[in-house]
Homo-oligomer: A and B are copies of this chain.
Amino acid sequence: MLEIRLIPEAEFQRLRIAAIPTGDRLALFGDMCRANALATVKRAGSGHLGSSFSSLDIVTFLYFAEMNVTELGIRHPDRDIYFSSKGHDVPGHYAVLYALGILPKERFIRLRRLGGTHGHPDVSVPGIEANSGSLGMGISKAKGMAWAKTMRGSGGRVFVMTGDGELQEGQIWESLQTAAHQGISNIHVIVDCNKIQTDKRVEGIIDLGKLERKFEIFGWHVERCDGHDFAALERVIGNFRLITDRPKVLIADTLKGRGISFMEGPTALKDGQGLYRWHAGAPDDDSFEAGYGELLERVNGRLVDMGLARLTTEVLETREKHRTRLKDTAQKVVNAFGEALVEVGARRKDIVVLDADLSADCGLRPFELAFPERFIENGIAEQDMVSTAGGLALQGFLPVVNSFGVFLASRANEQIYNNATEKTKIIYVCHYAGLIPAGPGKSHQSLRDISLFGALPNCVILEPGNGVETKRALEWCVNEATETCMIRLAISPSPGIIPLPDDYQLSFAKGTVLTHGTDAVLFAYGPVMLHEALVAAELLRGRGFSLKIVDMPWLNRVNGMWLEETVGPCAELFVVDNHSPYGGLGDCLLGEVMTSPTLRRLRLIRFAVEEYPACGTPQEALAYHQLDGESLARRVLKSMG
């Protein structure tokens, strides 16, 4: 059996009052927080350890040795403010907030669970000062906080942590330039310079060059030190107090995965042959036990050396070891996408694939390896990537542009528009579309992407329901589309592969009937919602209600005659959007229904992800939004009276 254990807050309290030199105490706390962060990530089944561990000594130092927030409380106007701009290091931050008693245990131990803590920072969690997780916004936000302190005349400093890969984002340089010009001296940026971004070295993705000189030339006071050396951190932050005429940045040299030997940057890169595997995701059971053991052993060894009692820990959860996880066995449409990309790439030499440091997550690695000369790794610089694609398209190439939907559709929105106005053809792929996985939280769940492309008059939007349809969708976009296309793709494993009929083919603006039915018809798309829809149909069948399920992958194009035929004798229409209720398939079908004399007499009921997406397990999030199969069945019955 696998035990997941917690170091209780009381243990931190014991050591806060013990007679230990500050540096030793901070070193203990850093590792204890690592252990607790590791436990919560293991428990959640996902989370970012590498970056939590590289930044944790700095966060520990700030909260336990530097900031006034424990004295003044987390709402005092004169408090020092700390938040992370990169945000995915939040498991480590939570561990510190828990150790201080700011974050209650019942929330802390439920990482990425409904009612627990979010996978990326959210101000609804005690101690969290800003929402983040979408990169590059932190310095700007800190600037606003510093302005506020000045305008209000209140005390306290503003500290913000950034990643090093994050410095590829253009907003960073906007904020550096404006902060210097505006003379905002009360900003303290700390760069967690761990040299590794998602899964490769920063210098291999987009090198940052002479970083100290860059900050200096942008008008900032720069210091650099070892981010795991508490004395050095104290010295630098002390120096910062003397600099009152400009904003300040510390480049903290750190190790990604610091604290667990096999997760530490250089070792891990060697083990992974250049790829770093501990950026995101929970470690397997054996790695977890080895890592946890290493941390505890080091802490207890130090305690014993100092004549103090070993740590007391409590069991959070006991589970069977080596459980099979859905993601190890289930189909992922992104894999089909990756294969299809290589296939079309072999035939079409005009295809160029662009990536913003999410190559593995977006299924691009096969193309990257097969056609390196037509693969552009652009780093975390979505705006630049999209306009680069625009230039390629103007010169006759067919760019396939990839990132998570939240980042691509939103951050590069004006660039997408600008390209579209040139009437060239570009294929945008919005990965991680929809509510699921719901653990990373609302900075990652893409529920606005359709609406962000929707007003482009020359863009076809589609989301395929399984691997086969994914391949057809990409082929259609490459070979048949005359306009720009947006493909939205689920990133999570499919709980069940959506069954398409034997004679399936992808027909423009038409969907596919998955289960026949005569009482009502429900339109859905994508593996997540189609699965829930099929569950709903099955449940309803047991209650004598015949619900037709239609896979409708075309989200903004619908053939009116096909729609009328498909609805047939059904008395009511339902649509499930794995998207905001605004601008999705529901709106598209409603517009069509309204213009059809035969359909207009029918009601169309739209189900969608209302409000902001919940953070939790897939089932928690689906149930919260009443979009799981059971809820859908209940809602269909209810609306039919």
Contacts and interface: CB of A to CB of B under 8 A. Distances in A.
A583 B451 contact: yes
A107 interface: no
* Copies of the protein in its oligomer: 2
Contacts of A603: 594, 600
Interface stretch (A167-175, A275-283, A320-328): A167-175
Nearest to A383: B171
A130 B388 contact: no
Interface in A359-397: 373-374, 376, 378-379, 381, 383-397
A297 interface: no
A451 to B, nearest CB: 4
Nearest to A442: B421
Given A217-B209, A451-B583, A452-B413, A387 B611 contact: no
A181 B206 contact: yes
A219 to B, nearest CB: 6
Interface stretch (A132-140, A507-515, A564-572): A132-140
A411 interface: yes
A208 interface: yes
Which one of A381, A421, A556, A591 has the greatest number of beta carbons of chain B within 10 Å? Answer: A421
Which one of A138, A151, A396 has the greatest number of beta carbons of chain B within 10 Å? Answer: A151
Given A168-B174, A580-B457, A414 B417 contact: no
A604 B600 CA distance: 11
A382 to B, nearest CB: 8
Interface in A229-268: none
Interface stretch (A94-102, A141-149, A520-528, A536-544): A141-149
Which one of A144, A376, A580 has the greatest number of beta carbons of chain B within 10 Å? Answer: A144
Interface string A453-493: 01111000000000000000000000000000000000000
Interface in A82-127: 122-123
A556 B451 CA distance: 14
A435 to B, nearest CB: 13
A502 interface: no
A582 interface: yes
A387 B457 contact: no
B141 A390 contact: yes
Contacts of A145: 391-392, 394-395
A140 B387 contact: yes
Interface string A415-426: 101100111000
Contact of A447 (B142, B455, B611): B455
Nearest to A144: B391
A379 B178 contact: yes
Given A140-B387, A144-B387, A454-B582, 8 more contacts: A131-B418, A136-B170, A140-B386, A143-B384, A147-B391, A178-B379, A181-B207, A217-B217
Interface of A: 122-123, 129-132, 134, 136-138, 140-149, 151-152, 168-175, 177-178, 180-182, 206-210, 213-214, 217-219, 352, 373-374, 376, 378-379, 381, 383-397, 399, 406-407, 410-411, 413-415, 417-418, 421-423, 442-443, 447-448, 451-452, 454-457, 556, 579-580, 582-583, 587, 590-591, 594, 600, 603-604, 610-612
Q: Kindly list the 3 A-B residue pairs having the minimum CB-CB distance in the complex, ordered from nearest.
A: A144-B391, A170-B170, A140-B387
27 contacts: A123-B394, A131-B418, A131-B421, A137-B390, A140-B385, A140-B387, A144-B394, A147-B391, A151-B397, A168-B177, A169-B170, A170-B383, A173-B174, A174-B383, A174-B384, A175-B388, A406-B417, A411-B413, A417-B448, A418-B443, A421-B442, A421-B443, A447-B455, A451-B454, A452-B455, A594-B603, A600-B600
